[in-house]
Each structure stands twice: as structure tokens, then as C-alpha cells.
């Protein structure tokens, strides 16, 4: 094994151990997300994506949700991207006053700005989303999301890790706030196919209920 490969392995292990340390704390729910995504470039500025998601919760013992999603992105300038997303959410509500699968839809509007340096690529995304229930009239959940992320530049390494933090702030309702800390690795399989692994730890804070945490492993397959 050459020196560069050794450094890469040590770096990956260090980052993974740093991020998965919250897994071993108490009162955490371990979850798994999977996604298949199809991307279509309309032109150099506009692209659309369609995806199907399947999620498990409560230490992978219970189905959490089935999600069908579409998204359109537009780049008016070289390093600025606008996005609009629409999602149908068939979610398993097995706690609280309402139990059983619930039908919801969610839309999200966002803007993203990229910054480039000699050592890393940075981007900042700010988004507003609103999730509405088909089954419970007058029920919605409006959230402001702020996500800075950094992709570390490592010489002779095509599949660079990306570190990210995301802040969620509910505008009304339970006044829920959440913090997400994660890492992403993307592997290009061919020119038009990729595989993405992501882990994140999410900590919730609510005024009206007990705080809780999630550990999520996410796998995504994308093709053009």
C-alpha cells in the first residue's frame, strides 16, 4: 500500500469515528434511508430529478415512510442555484394522538451559493419547506433550513468526502428545532451513474415534548 492510500484510509476512519460517536449514546433511534434517483439535464442551466425513497426507523424494525419526489433546479449564474421540490409522503405515524399511515405532501424552495478555495469547495443552502397533511385538515409544518457544507480537496482523490451541518427551525406549531451533523461520500460508477453513502446525527429540540436524537445511514443510487 502506497503512502497516499494509507493517508486516505486513516483520514476516512478518523472522520467516520468522529461522526458515529453519537451512535453509542443513549436514547438514540437508528434509521436507514434508501433512494433511487433519475436526473435529466434540460440544458446547461436547468435540470430535473425524479426519485423514490424507502425509510426504516426504530432501529430498522418499523417502516417509516415511502416517498415519491420531483425537483427542478435552475442556475441563473455560474455559482448560484435555485431549486423547487415537490414530495408525496406516505408516512407511518405510530406515536402520539394519530397513528397509522398518513398521506402528506411537501414543497421546498431553496437557493444555494458555491464558494471555491484552494483547499476546499464550500456551499451554503437556504430553503423554506412546508409539509401539509391530506388526512388532517389545517395541519402543516413550516420549516426554515440552513445548510453549510464543505468538500475537502485531497490530491489524487476523486471521491472527496463532504462534511455538512444543517439547522432546522420550525416557524410555527411545536417550535421544533433540529441540528444535523453529517458526512457524505460519492462514488462515480460510470459517466452517468453514481452511488452516494451518507451518515448523519440529528438532534431535536421541542418546547412541548422531550428531546430525542436520530442516527441515519443513507444510500442513494443515481443515474442520468
Instruction: Please check the confidence at residue 42 and state whether its pLDDT lies above 70.
Output: yes
Residues 68-95 pLDDT 10s: 999 999 999 989 999 999 999 999 987 7
Q: What are phi and psi of 158, to 5 degrees?
A: -75, -35
- Considering only 14-23, 105-114, 117-126, which range has the smallest mean pLDDT? 14-23
**Number of domains within the chain:** 1
pLDDT at residue 34, as a whole number:
97
pLDDT at 172: 77
CATH number of residue 7's parent domain: 2.40.160
Q: Collapsing DSSP states into helix, strand and coil, what is residue 158?
A: coil
Q: How confident is the model at residue 11 (pLDDT cuts 50, 70, 90)?
A: low
Lowest mean pLDDT among 56-60, 170-174, 194-198: 170-174
Query: 165 near 149, Cβ under 8 Å?
Result: yes
Model's pTM, two decimal places? 0.84
Cβ–Cβ contacts within 10 Å for residue 161, how many?
19
The rounded radius of gyration (Å) of the Cα atoms in the chain is 19
| 3-class DSSP state of 99 | strand
HSE, side-chain direction, 13 A CA sphere, residue 219: 5
Confidence of residue 18 (pLDDT cuts 50, 70, 90): low
Cell numbers that stand for 101 in this block: 399511515
Q: How far is CA 85 from CA 72, 92, 130, in A?
A: 6, 22, 11
* Residue-number span of the structural domain to which 53 is assigned: 3-223
C-alpha 154, offset from chain centre: 23
CB under 8 Å to 50, separation ≥6 — which residues?
37, 38, 69, 70
Check residue 76 and give its pLDDT: 93
Summarize pLDDT for 124-171 with one digit per residue, the tens.
Answer: 999 999 999 998 887 889 999 999 999 877 776 677 788 899 999 998
pLDDT at 55 over 90: yes
> What's residue 21's pLDDT?
54
Q: Residue 116's pLDDT band (boundaries 50, 70, 90)?
A: confident
**DSSP percent split of the chain into helix, strand, coil, nearest 5:** 10, 65, 25
> 26 or 204: whose pLDDT is higher?
204
142: region left, alpha or beta (phi > 0 left; psi from -120 to 50 alpha): beta
Cell digits for 135?
388526512
Amino acid at each position: 500500500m502506497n503512502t497516499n492510500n494509507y493517508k486516505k484510509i486513516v483520514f476516512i476512519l478518523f472522520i467516520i469515528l468522529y461522526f458515529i460517536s453519537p451512535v453509542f449514546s443513549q436514547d438514540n433511534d437508528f434509521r436507514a434511508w434508501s433512494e433511487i434517483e433519475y436526473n435529466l439535464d434540460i440544458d446547461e442551466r436547468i435540470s430535473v430529478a425524479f426519485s423514490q425513497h424507502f425509510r426504516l426507523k426504530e432501529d430498522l424494525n418499523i417502516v417509516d415512510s415511502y416517498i415519491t419526489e420531483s425537483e427542478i433546479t435552475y442556475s441563473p449564474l455560474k455559482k448560484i442555484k435555485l431549486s423547487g421540490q415537490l414530495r408525496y409522503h406516505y408516512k407511518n405515524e405510530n406515536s402520539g394522538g394519530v397513528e397509522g399511515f398518513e398521506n402528506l405532501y411537501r414543497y421546498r424552495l431553496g437557493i444555494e451559493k458555491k464558494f471555491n478555495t484552494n483547499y476546499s469547495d464550500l456551499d451554503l443552502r437556504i430553503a423554506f419547506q412546508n409539509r401539509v397533511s391530506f388526512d388532517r385538515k389545517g395541519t402543516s409544518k413550516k420549516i426554515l433550513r440552513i445548510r453549510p457544507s464543505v468538500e475537502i480537496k485531497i490530491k489524487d482523490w476523486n471521491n472527496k468526502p463532504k462534511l455538512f451541518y444543517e439547522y432546522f427551525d420550525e416557524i410555527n406549531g411545536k417550535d421544533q428545532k433540529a441540528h444535523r451533523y453529517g458526512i457524505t461520500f460519492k462514488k462515480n460508477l460510470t459517466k452517468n451513474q453514481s452511488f452516494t453513502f451518507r451518515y448523519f446525527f440529528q438532534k431535536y429540540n421541542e418546547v412541548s415534548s422531550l428531546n430525542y436524537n436520530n442516527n441515519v445511514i443513507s444510500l442513494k443510487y443515481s443515474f442520468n
